[in-house]
Structure 1
Amino acid sequence: MQHNKFKLISVPLFLTLGRILKPVIFLVSLLFIGSLGYHLLENYSFLDALYMTTITITTVGFGEVKPLSEAGKVFTIFIILGGVIFYGLAINSLAKIILETSFRELMEKRIMEERLKNLENHYIICGGGRFAYALATEFEAENVPFIIIENNPDSLVSQKETNWLVLDADAMEEETLLKAGIKKAIGLASVLPTDADNLFVVLSARRLNPTIRIETRISMESTRPKMLQAGADKVISPYAAGGKQMARSLLNPEVAEFVEVALGRKDFGLEFSVHRVVKEDPFLGKTIRETDFRKNGFLIVAIKRPGKDLMFAPSAKEILQEGDHVFLLGTPQTNEHWT
C-alpha cells in the first residue's frame, strides 16, 4: 500500500513528469523534423514522409519508400543518430524513475523500522476507518505518540494526506502487534470493521501484554461480555454512546456544553487537566485546602483514587494520597504548570 505512511522522502510529481516528457518531446520533434525533411528533400507525401521517419528511427529495416538522393541519405543519417539519442534519453529517464522509486521505498522502510524501534509509551490503533481517523486526530492534537495498523488501501486513513505512522500489515497477526511495539505500548484501541476481528485482536493483545490498557468498539451489544472476558478494559458501542450523548444534549444542553468545555472542544479560555500525585509531590499528605490549586485559579472537579470510584466535588479536608489523579479546570496559563 503506497499511501501517506511517510512524506519525509518524496520525488515531486513535476520532476517525474519532466523526466517522462523529455524523451516524448524529443521524439515528437524528431518525427516532425524528419517528416518535413523528407517532404522537402525527396518530395514525399506527408504520410510517406512520416512512415519513412518512423521506420528510420525504429530501425525496422523495411527499406525506403523510393530511392533516396544524396541529400536524403545525409538527412537519414542524422535521423538515425537522433533515434539513438532518443533511445538513450528514454532509457535514462526510465532508469532514473525506477531507481528513485526503489530508493524511496527502501528509505521509507528504513525510516519505518527506525521509528518503530524508538516507539515506547505509545498507543496502537488497529483499523483505518472513521473511528480510527477520529482517534488519531485526537492523539495528534494531544501530541501523544501513536501508530496505526491498517492494510486496506481504500480506508479513510490510507486516503488522507497525513504524517501519521501507519504500519501496512494485518492487525490480527501477533507478529504485526509485536512489530508495532505492543510490549512497550501503554494503550491499544481495536476499531476494526467487525466484532469478530476486534475480539481476535483483544485476545492477542492481552496475551502479548497483560498490563496494556485495551479499548475496543462493538457493533452488537451482545458482544460486550465476550470482549470483557477476552481482556478489554473498556468496550464502546458507538451507536449507544452517540445516542446517549445526543439525548443528554437535548435534555440538558448546559451540562453538555460544560462537558465540551472540559474536554477542550469549545474555547472559553479554560482547559481540563489531570494532576497525578506522585511520591515526590509537594501536595502528598496535604488536604485540598492546604494545596495551591485554588490560589492558582483552579477548580478541583474530582479525584480518582486507585481501585476506587471517582470522587466528585471532594471536601476541602480530603487528604491527597500517592497515586491520586486530581481533575482540574483552570486557565491555560496556570493549567500549563500543572499538566
Structure 2
Amino acid sequence: MRGGQAEGSANVALPERDASPWRQLAVRLGAAAGILVGAALLVYFDRSAYTDTSDGSVSLVDAFYYTTVTLSTTGYGDIAPIETHARLINAFIITPARIAFLVLLIGTTLEVLAAQGREQFRIARWRKNMANHVVVIGYGTKGRSAVETLINNGQERERVVVVDPSQDALVDAHADQLAVITGDATRRDVLRRAGVSSADQVIITTDRDDTNVLATLTVRQINPDVFIVAAVREDENGKLMRQSGANSVITSADAVGRLLGLSSVSPSLGEVMEDLLSYGSGLEVAERELLVSEVGQPPQSLSDQVIAIVRDEKVYRYFDPVVGVLARGDRLIVVRPAEEMPWAPRPGTHNEDLAAEDRG
C-alpha cells in the first residue's frame, strides 16, 4: 500500500455539465429556512392574535415552535390563532408556505437521489464507451501541457482520462472538462478504473521518477500493447524507464537544461527551439501522412521542411540514402507554419489523396 491509499479508494469523477446538486441542495435548504423564519416572524409580530395553552402568551421561541410544527403538518394544537385575521393569515399565507416548504424538502431529496442516479448512469455509460483513449497519469504542469497539445492536435476531450490523487488536480482537470480518476496510479485497481486495459496511449508524468517507473511497470502488466510515453526528471533514470516498458522517454530536466544552454550560446537558436515546442503560432513540428502527389519525390523537394521519414516503424533522417525517394506508406516529420499556408496544405484539407489510401 502506497501513500495511505486504501483498497478501492479510486473514484471516478466526470466533469459537471450543470450546477452541482449539492449547490442546488444548499439553495433549496436556504429557501426552506427563509420560509420558516418569515412565517415565524409573521406569527411573532401578530402574537396577540394567538394563545398558548401553557401560559397564554406567545414568545419568539413559541413563534418558531408554532411555525415549525405547523409547516411540518404536525400541529400539536397547544398554540392556536384566536383572532379572525390570524386564522385568515394561516389559511392564505401559512398554508401555502407549508406546501412550498414540503415541496422544497421533498423535491430536494428527490433531486439529490435523481442526480446521484444520473451520475451513476453517466459513469456506467462512460465506462462502456471508453476505449482507444489516452490516460494521463499526473496532472501537473507537464500533464496539462501534454493534454493541451493532444487536444490542439485533434484529440477529443471525452477520450482523455486523468489519474491523479490530488484534489487540486481534480479541480484543474474538471475545469478543463476532463474525466478524473482520483487515486494512486501505481495501484492496479486505480489503473483498471481508468480503462488502461483498453487505452491506446498512456502518458506518465508525475513529479517522482520512482513513481513513474512503478506506474509504467503496472501499466505494462495490465496492457502489454499500449504505447507508453513517460517523463523522468533525471537522465540517469531514462534507461530504467525504458526497461520498465516505456516506448518513449522524455527527460524533462535534461531537455530544459539543453534549451537553457542553447539560449545562452545562441539566443536566436533558443528562440526558434521554443517556437517549435509551442503550439498555435510561428513554426510547429508535426507528423503527417504522405500524399499521392509526393510519392517518388526526394524529401527535400516538398513544400514542408521534412526533417525525418517514418518507414516500417523506423525513423530515418531526411538525408539518409535509404529514404532518398519517398514511397507509399511513408510518414513525414515536418517543420511548417503553425497556421496553414496555401503552399503547405495539411493532408486532406484540399481534397488531396493520401498515399496510404492506395497502399497495396
TM-score class, shorter-chain normalisation, is 0.7 to 0.9
Larger displacement relative to structure 2 (247-256 or 169-178): 169-178
Q: Distance in 1 between matches of 2:94 and 2:179?
A: 46
Using the size of structure 2 for normalisation, the TM-score is 0.72
In the alignment, which residue of structure 2 is the partner of 1:28? 37
Q: Distance in 1 between matches of 2:48 and 2:59?
A: 6
Task: Choose the corresponding residue for 1:319, options 310, 314, 325.
Answer: 325
Asked if 1:276 corresponds to 2:289, the answer is: yes
Cα shift readout 1:81-120 (whole Å, capped 9, x = no counterpart)? 9777656544432332333233233323333333343344
- Identity, in percent, stands at 16
Larger displacement relative to structure 2 (305-314 or 158-167): 305-314
In the alignment, which residue of structure 2 is the partner of 1:143? 154
Distance 1:219 1:171, change over 3 A: same
Cα shift readout 1:272-305 (whole Å, capped 9, x = no counterpart)? 4323349xx5644x1327x9x63xx333233244
Q: Distance in 2 between matches of 1:178 and 1:51?
A: 56
Task: Choose the corresponding residue for 1:7, options 8, 16, 31.
Answer: 16
In the alignment, which residue of structure 2 is the partner of 1:182? 196
Task: Indicate conservation of the 8 Å contact 2:234/2:253, yes or no.
Answer: no
How far apart are 1:9 and its partner, in Å? 4.3
Partner SS state of residue 329, structure 1: strand
How many residues are matched?
323
The CA RMSD measured in Å over matched residues stands at 4.0
Using the size of structure 1 for normalisation, the TM-score is 0.75
In the alignment, which residue of structure 2 is the partner of 1:57? 67
Asked if 1:71 corresponds to 2:71, the answer is: no
Distance 1:108 1:51, change over 3 A: closer
How far apart are 1:238 and its partner, in Å? 2.5
Asked if 1:191 corresponds to 2:205, the answer is: yes
Task: Choose the corresponding residue for 1:102, options 102, 113, 121.
Answer: 113
Q: Distance in 2 between matches of 1:338 and 1:299?
A: 18
Larger displacement relative to structure 2 (53-62 or 89-98): 53-62
In the alignment, which residue of structure 2 is the partner of 1:38? 47
Structure 2, unmatched stretches of 5+, are 1-9, 52-56, 70-74, 350-360
In the alignment, which residue of structure 1 is the partner of 2:247? 233
In the alignment, which residue of structure 1 is the partner of 2:352? none
Cα shift readout 1:187-224 (whole Å, capped 9, x = no counterpart)? 21122343333222211221232232212223455543
How far apart are 1:31 and its partner, in Å? 1.7
1:115-194 matches, cutoff 5 A: 115-145=126-156, 146-150=159-163, 152-159=165-172, 161-194=175-208
Distance 1:237 1:19, change over 3 A: same
In the alignment, which residue of structure 1 is the partner of 2:4? none
In the alignment, which residue of structure 1 is the partner of 2:224? 210
How far apart are 1:12 and its partner, in Å? 8.2
Structure 1, unmatched stretches of 5+, are none
Larger displacement relative to structure 2 (314-323 or 197-206): 314-323
How far apart are 1:27 and its partner, in Å? 1.7
Larger displacement relative to structure 2 (55-64 or 191-200): 55-64
Larger displacement relative to structure 2 (326-335 or 80-89): 80-89
Distance 1:48 1:151, change over 3 A: farther
Distance 1:103 1:132, change over 3 A: farther
Task: Indicate conservation of the 8 Å contact 1:131/1:191, yes or no.
Answer: yes
